[in-house]
Amino acid sequence: MASIRSTEFNSAQSLEKDAIMDNLYWIKQIISIILGCVAGGMNLTGFPIIICFGIAVSSFSLVYAWQIMKAEEIESWDLVTEAFGPSFFCFILVWTLTFTFI
């Protein structure tokens, strides 16, 4: 009986972590589009913009999970790396298109 309850508890934690990670994925996509539009619209160029994007997205991921969702059991590295590649691609794409066409 105890093993069934621990399994239910673990699956509930797993669902909570999956929900947080799904939310982080979409929030990072929205942030990358906004930051890409801002960087391209202001005609900003160079490697420092990429570094600022990485810091901003990573910081927001940690603040979102720890302060807003109150999720302390998720490792920091998982939060930072979750969907970083797609959000980085989206940022570069929007930044380039905005810079080119505006």
pLDDT higher than 70, residue 14: no
Rounded CA-CA distance 23/21 in Å is: 5
Q: Give 59's contacts (C-beta < 8 A, 6+ positions apart).
A: none
pLDDT exceeds 50 at position 8: no
pLDDT band at residue 7, thresholds of 50, 70 and 90? very low
- C-alpha span between 100 and 79 (Å, rounded): 32
> pLDDT of 30-80, one tens digit each?
999 999 999 999 999 999 999 999 999 988 888 887 787 776 666 777 778
Confidence label for 12 from pLDDT (cuts 50, 70 and 90): low
- What's the Cα-to-Cα distance from 40 to each of 80, 84, 85, rounded to whole Å? 24, 20, 19
Question: What pLDDT, on a 0 to 100 scale, did the predictor assign at position 86?
Answer: 94
- In this predicted structure, what is the pLDDT of residue 99? 95
**Residue 72, φ and ψ in degrees, nearest 5:** -95, -15
